[in-house]
Amino acid sequence: MSSPLAALFLREWRVARRIGGSGAMGVVFFLTLVAIVPFAVGPDPNLLARIGPAILWIAALLATLLCLDRLFQADAEDGSLDLFHLSETPLELAVLVKCAAHWAATGLPLVIAAPFLGLMLQQEAMALLGVVATLLVGTPALTLIGAIGAAATVTVRRGGLLMALLVLPLTIPVLIFGVSAAEAASGGAVPFYAPFAILCAITLAALALCPFAAAAALRYLGE
């Protein structure tokens, strides 16, 4: 079973890189959002340093959603999704591998770009480390939660807006504890480990539950 899953991971990673340049598009969108914030709130370094983690997290959330709408649609259009249903490999594992490949192609570049963009927001070294650590833990949860919305809208043409409306409420806990942990890393009133541990728990819960929910939606829509 590991060989088909490994082949699926490589296929999805290559497709995510080639079709639409989703990883580069997400980073550019991430950069654009971070770059326009100082024009809206002003160039005050103290203000930017205080709201910097929240800005980076919101930008990462929106950049992740931007690249999720095609997670299953291409497979539905070319018939690959029917092969997943007929395969001996459990559909839940196929969904998990697709999410992992999607995160490697789109979420990981956001994590790598975050410290460089954080410098634009007057973030100190500890704050940058906190942002990177929380994004590294939290962005997989965003991808897994987004997979549920992508599966629910797989039969809807240009369903990106509908998917975002379905997914955004579910991502609020990830955003809250991700921002709280990132702010705590730079000396906030809350200890870093408390919100960071909750963020890790949310990601583990998403890892355990979201593939089953997305697979159930795909099965229901495929009937």
> Domain-by-domain residue ranges, the chain?
3-222
Structure tokens at 105: 């192609």
- What does the buried/exposed string (b/e) look like for 3-15 if buried means 16 or more CB atoms within 10 Å of the residue's CB? eebeebbeebbeb
Structure tokens at 116: 């460089």
Q: Name 118's Cβ contacts closer than 8 Å, sequence gap at least 6.
A: 52, 56, 127, 128, 131
- Neighbouring CB atoms inside 10 A of 46's CB total 8
Cβ atoms 95, 215 nearer than 8 A: yes
The pLDDT score that the predictor gives to residue 75 is: 74
Cβ atoms 134, 196 nearer than 8 A: yes
The pLDDT score that the predictor gives to residue 21 is: 52
Measured CA to CA, the distance from residue 155 to residue 46 in angstroms comes to 47
pLDDT digits (tens, 9 = 90+) for 50-62: 888 999 999 999 9
Q: What is the chain's pLDDT, residue by residue, as a tens digit (223 residues)? A: 458 778 888 887 777 766 555 667 888 888 898 888 888 888 788 888 888 899 999 999 998 888 787 788 777 777 777 777 777 778 888 899 989 988 988 889 999 999 998 888 888 888 899 999 999 999 999 999 999 998 888 877 776 778 888 899 999 999 999 999 998 887 767 788 899 999 999 999 999 999 999 999 888 876 6
Measured CA to CA, the distance from residue 70 to residue 162 in angstroms comes to 13
Q: Name 33's Cβ contacts closer than 8 Å, sequence gap at least 6.
A: 55, 58, 59, 62, 63
- SS3 annotation, 177-217: HHHHHHHHHCCCCCCCHHHHHHHHHHHHHHHHHHHHHHHHH
Measured CA to CA, the distance from residue 66 to residue 73 in angstroms comes to 14
| DSSP assigned state of 159 | -
Measured CA to CA, the distance from residue 200 to residue 70 in angstroms comes to 26
Would you call 90 helix, strand, or coil by DSSP?
coil
pLDDT digits (tens, 9 = 90+) for 125-137: 888 999 999 999 9
Q: Name 193's Cβ contacts closer than 8 Å, sequence gap at least 6.
A: none
Q: Name 141's Cβ contacts closer than 8 Å, sequence gap at least 6.
A: 171, 174, 199, 202, 203, 206, 207
